[in-house]
Structures are given as C-alpha cells and as structure tokens.
Amino acid sequence: MDGLCRKSAFLTLIFEEVTLTGSTNADLLARAVQGAPEGLWLRADAQDGGRGRLGRVWESPSGNLFASTIVRLRDTDPSPASLAFVTAVSVFDAVRQIAPQVPICVKWPNDILTPDGAKLCGVLLERASDAVVVGIGLNLVWHPQNLERKVTDLLTLGATPPDAQTAVEIVAEVFARYLAIWRQSGVEVIVRHWEARAHPRGTALSAKLPDGEHLDGLYAGLNEDGALQLRLADGAIRAIHAADVFLI
C-alpha cells in the first residue's frame, strides 16, 4: 500500500492507494473502528465488491475514481446525514476544476448528473460509531452499459480527465474546505451551496419512497434541513426525507 501526506489549509490529508480491494468503504469502516484519523483517503485502482445506495452493485474497473474518506464526528457538528450535501457540493466543484467545459448539476441528495440526467458520480455514506465513511465513485474514463438508468463518464463527454490519483487529491482539497464550512456555518449554508448547483426549480422529478410509494412532482427547492421539497399536482408541497429520486 502506497501513501502520502499533505497539509491543506483546513486539514492534514493522508492519501493511501491499493491496486485492488473489495470496497474502499468497507476497508475504511473497519479502520475507523480501529481509530483511523479524519482526513485519511483510501483510493483503489479497482474494486471487486463496490456498492452504491440501496445495495446496488457499483462496477469498478481500473481507470475511474474509487475512493473513501473518514469524517470524525464532533459533539458540535451538524446532522451527520447532511454530509451528503457536503460531498455533493465538493464533487461538483472538483469536476468543474477537472472538466470546466462539461455541464453538470446535482440531484438530491448527492448525485452528479449531466443536464439530461446521465449519472456521472455516486456517493455512499456509512457510519461506524463516531465516524462517517464517505465513498465516492466518479466515472472518469468509463461507464457501464445497459443499465436501467442513464450513466456517462468525463471522457465520453469530451473532457480529458486526469488520472485517478490527481482526481482524488482535487476532491479531497475541496471536501476539506466544505467540511470546514459545514462545521463553522451549519447545514443551511451548505444547503444554499447545494441549491446553487442543482437542476432548476420546476424540474420534474419522480420519487420512490422507502415504503414503496411513488410520487411525481416538480422540484421546489430544499428546506433548511436539506429535505427535498416536491410540489405535487394539487399544488401541495411534500417534504421528502428519504427516497430514490429520478429526473423525468
């Protein structure tokens, strides 16, 4: 396992890399329990057990970015669930640095999409005691085919993406900055950053709730806690706290 340490303006960043692992999230969950520090980033060239939200398989061949980091929760921190918005804003800004010519937006809570709804990046947050492990899968040069939903990668979109190690270092620097904002200024400030990067209000969305209920409506922003506000056909606003959300 190779590694390097770098001081940022906000946090000491530690980068480790492995050629192949099952899941960088699973690796860091185990290490978090053993006391691994905040600021540690683990990147794998490839994964053979990558996973996304709701237990979905995340295909992880060499060439894309597969990385996870640890956030150590403090008593004064905002809700850990709001780290999803910190991550989404961070990856959005990092992609803008990497490929400024590629149009992107964020979709609730933390997907990075093209304007036509093709997924470019996925995020998975998992908790172990006082630590949250944040996993990021960013399609740099490859994307899977024949999925139920649209996906893409930066190379396909006409960019010249950097190698995965350069990409994770860019993501980590931006993440450290927004993590500091989250701690100092709270969820509402992060939510405003998120909304500025989201698809426009009035965008048609479909939400599948954990109990199986389906709701279609128009995006009406987020509330102060980050819940999705969905305007239904009768004009009522429904606050969505957990759901699988799609552009329609």
CATH of the domain at 220: 2.30.30.100
> What CA–CA distance (Å, rounded) separates 113 from 189?
22
Q: What is the DSSP string of 202-223?
A: T-EEEEE-TTS-EEEEEEEEE-
Q: Pick 54 or 186 by higher pLDDT.
A: 186
What's the pLDDT band for 188 if we cut at 50, 70, 90? very high
220 shares its domain with 159: no
Residue 146 has pLDDT above 80, yes or no: no
Q: Tell me the mean pLDDT in the region 135-148.
A: 90
Helix ranges (DSSP H) in the chain? 24-33, 83-98, 164-185, 187-197
At residue 8, the pLDDT reads 81
Q: Residue 162 is part of which domain span?
A: 2-197
What's the pLDDT band for 54 if we cut at 50, 70, 90? very low
Q: How would you label 97-133 residue by residue, b for 16+ Cβ within 10 Å and e otherwise?
A: ebbeebebbbbbbbbbbbeebbbbbbbbbbeeeebbb
At residue 57, the pLDDT reads 52
137 shares its domain with 91: yes
Q: Tell me the mean pLDDT in the region 97-124.
A: 95
97 shares its domain with 178: yes
236 shares its domain with 189: no
What's the pLDDT band for 1 if we cut at 50, 70, 90? low
Residue 32 has pLDDT above 90, yes or no: yes
- The mean-pLDDT minimum among 169-173, 211-215, 228-232, 244-248 falls in 244-248
239 shares its domain with 166: no
At residue 5, the pLDDT reads 83
48 shares its domain with 125: yes
Domain of 165, CATH number, reads: 3.30.930.10
Q: Report whether 87 contacts 94 (CB < 8 A).
A: no
Residue 54: burial class (beta carbons within 10 Å; 0-12, 13-18, 19+): exposed
Q: Residues 87-101: pLDDT tens digits?
A: 999 999 999 999 999
Q: How many domains does the chain have?
A: 2
Q: Tell me the mean pLDDT in the region 31-50.
A: 90
115 shares its domain with 217: no
96 shares its domain with 169: yes
Q: Pick 50 or 26 by higher pLDDT.
A: 26
235 shares its domain with 127: no
Q: Residues 205-219: pLDDT tens digits?
A: 999 999 999 999 999
> What CA–CA distance (Å, rounded) separates 80 from 101?
32
137 shares its domain with 225: no
Whole-prediction pTM value? 0.92
Q: Pick 176 or 144 by higher pLDDT.
A: 176
164 shares its domain with 53: yes
Q: Tell me the mean pLDDT in the region 16-39.
A: 95
131 shares its domain with 183: yes
Q: In the chain, what percentage of residues exceed pLDDT 70?
A: 94
